């Protein structure tokens, strides 16, 4: 009996480790994803919370403002807030922008697991703005005018699960595993 409880607890381990990451999109009329870049692990789910009319469209590092072939494309619903969820399937960087004309160029870009050197989030954003190493390809930017603030300043996260939360989550997983082991011997 104790053995069964122990085994069941251990089975729950991989599931307990997954994490949901909220990313607000266009809160307070600003052309920003908040937070603008995050680290996530395989199995985590990213929930884009659209506070106004925007998209969360997957692109590539080289062409930040163009949809990548086969990439995801989350679009806000007509009523706000609405959400779009995407799962992290591997540890590769995920590059994202808002496809509404003008928004990407204004800095409305987002990344998951961007490298800390080389192809960083910051240089991705510069390419999007047309000032970085590379050429922006944005077929739809003509005539656009950003509506929010410059997009150059990113507000700090408001309700983001801190890494501390993740640590707590992982710690409780360890406690579960520990109880499982105790159960084996009682
Ligand atoms: C976000 O990008 C900035 C600038 O490139 C970098 O300093 C920071 O470490 C990145 N944060 C994450 C969570 O990747
Ligand atoms: C992960 O896989 C699912 C199912 O195939 C897909 O819908 C989703 O877009 C993928 N996530 C990324 C970041 O590509
Ligand atoms: C994400 O947002 C939803 C509602 O929008 C909230 O219920 C949930 O607690 C948030 N999760 C985290 C980890 O902040």
Structure confidence at residue 145 (pLDDT)? 36
Structure confidence at residue 132 (pLDDT)? 72
Mean pLDDT of the chain, nearest integer: 77
Atom 9 in ligand 2: residue holding the nearest Cα: 72
Domain-wise residue ranges, the chain: 1-18+162-186, 20-160
Q: Confidence band (pLDDT; 50, 70, 90) for 138?
A: very low
Pocket probe for ligand 3: among 159, 162, 163, the residue whose CB has the most ligand atoms within 8 Å is: 159
Domain 20-160: top CATH class: mainly beta
Atom 12 in ligand 1: residue holding the nearest Cα: 38
Atom 1 in ligand 3: residue holding the nearest Cα: 22
Residue 76 CB: number of other CB atoms within 10 A? 23
> Any residues with Cβ below 6 Å from ligand 1, and which?
37-39, 114, 116, 120-122
If one compares 102 and 170, the residue with the highest pLDDT of the two is 102
Structure confidence at residue 151 (pLDDT)? 35
pLDDT in tens, 58-83: 999 999 999 999 999 999 999 989 99
């Amino acid at each position: 009996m104790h053995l069964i409880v122990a085994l069941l607890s251990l089975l729950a381990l991989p599931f307990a480790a997954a994490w949901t990451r909220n990313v607000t999109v266009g809160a307070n009329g600003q052309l920003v994803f908040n937070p603008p870049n995050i680290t996530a692990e395989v199995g985590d789910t990213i929930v884009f919370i659209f506070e106004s009319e925007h998209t969360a469209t997957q692109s590539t590092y080289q062409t930040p403002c163009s949809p990548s072939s086969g990439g995801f494309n989350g679009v806000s619903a007509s009523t706000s807030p609405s959400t779009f969820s995407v799962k992290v399937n591997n540890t590769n960087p995920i590059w994202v922008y808002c496809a509404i004309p003008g928004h990407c160029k204004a800095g409305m870009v987002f990344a998951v697991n961007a490298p800390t050197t080389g192809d960083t989030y910051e240089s991705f954003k510069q390419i999007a703005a047309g000032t970085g190493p590379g050429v922006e390809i944005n077929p739809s930017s003509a005539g656009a005018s950003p509506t929010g603030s410059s997009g150059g300043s990113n507000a700090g996260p408001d309700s983001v699960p801190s890494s501390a939360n993740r640590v707590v989550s992982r710690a409780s997983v360890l406690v579960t595993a520990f109880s499982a082991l105790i159960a084996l011997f009682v």
